[in-house]
Structures are given as structure tokens and as C-alpha cells.
Amino acid sequence: MFYRDEKLALFIDGANLYAASKALGFDIDYKLLRTEFMRRGKLLRAFYYTALLENDEYSPIRPLVDWLNYNGFMMVTKPAKEFTDSMGRRKVKGNMDIELSVDAMEMAPHIDHMVLFSGDGDFRPLVAGIQRQGVRVSVVSTIRSQPPMIADELRRQADNFIELEELKDVIGRPPRDPRPED
């Protein structure tokens, strides 16, 4: 439930939202997403959190990060850390939970409604803390993927759960085929 006069802030866990939309078979059109939430209330900020591989000459996420940065999103990035696990596999780690949580707590006194785009159960204490400040919290994720992308404890804590698949017609576009047609 949204009220037209309430002040909103969006907090987008980039990796989590990307995984959820991919599991549902569509890409997010971020211009449409921002427009949709501007329609639902007074959008003060739209934060997008992602880790970037700095040592790669070309990062596939770089064009999105640049576009978002120029189109009304507050970009919060940090270098991803690369390491080799005990099995010799190359792994990339770039958790943005702390950055998102600090920003959300700082914004809480200035907003009426927080919209969190993540299903990560680690955010349950953040949601509870934001609610204690009198801010309503909606969580956007999905239970329709296999397995569901939202932690049950986060869904229960939120004031409102928004099924990502139900936003598909409003903020989605078909996934791009990465291969050129022959």
C-alpha cells in the first residue's frame, strides 16, 4: 500500500534483484522502475548497490552503472574481491549489505516508506530498525522462483511484500539474447 503524499526511498541490492529477475525470465527496465515509484509517492532517492570487478578491462555491468548514475540513481559501488577457494575455483565476493544498511538508517528520519529490493534474510534486523523509527517498509522479491528468492523471516518482518513477477508488465522487458542472430 502506497500513499501519494508519502516520501519514498528505494534501496536496490543490485545482485539480488538481478538474480530474482533472471529467475523469473525478464530484465528490469530501470527507467520504468523509477517512473513507477515516482507515481506511487514522492520519490526522494533511489539507491543502487553493486560491487564492481575493477581489474577487468571491461565489466559487463559498467554500462548499467553509468546509465543509472546519469539517470537519477544514487550509485553505491565498491571493488569486488577476487579469491581462489580451497577447491582452486575463482570466486568473486562483493557484499553491499553494510553500505545499504547504513544509508537506510541515515535516510529513515527523512522518509515515510522504504522500498527494499532484496530477498536477503540478513536485512531483517535492518527492516526492524527502520520500522522502529516509524517508517513503513515494503520488500520487493519473489516467491515464484525455484527456490524462492526471499527469506521467510524478511518477508514476515516487512510491512508489505511485493511480488517481483507482478511488476513484470510495469518495469520489465524481455531478456536480451546475448548472441547476435545469424
* pTM across the whole model: 0.89
- 152-156 mean pLDDT: 98
Cβ atoms of residues 157 and 130 within 8 Å: no
How far apart, in whole angstroms, are the C-alpha atoms of residue 68 and residue 48? 8
Q: Which three cell numbers stand for residue 64?
A: 548499467
Q: Looking at beta carbons, which pairs linking 84-88 to residues 24 or more positions away fall under 8 Å?
A: none
- Write out the H or E segment, with its range, that includes residue 172: strand 172-173
CATH code of 7-81+89-171, in short, is 3.40.50.1010
How far apart, in whole angstroms, are the C-alpha atoms of residue 92 and residue 90? 7
pLDDT, residue 41, reads: 97
How far apart, in whole angstroms, are the C-alpha atoms of residue 2 and residue 37? 9
How far apart, in whole angstroms, are the C-alpha atoms of residue 146 and residue 126? 26
48 falls in which pLDDT band (50, 70, 90)?
Answer: very high
How far apart, in whole angstroms, are the C-alpha atoms of residue 113 and residue 4? 11
How far apart, in whole angstroms, are the C-alpha atoms of residue 49 and residue 94? 10
Higher pLDDT, 113 or 56: 113
For 50-78, write each residue's pLDDT tens digit. 988 776 666 778 889 999 999 999 999 98
Query: What is the residue extent of each domain of the chain?
Result: 7-81+89-171
**Strand, coil or helix: 38:** helix
For 91-101, write each residue's pLDDT tens digit. 777 789 999 99
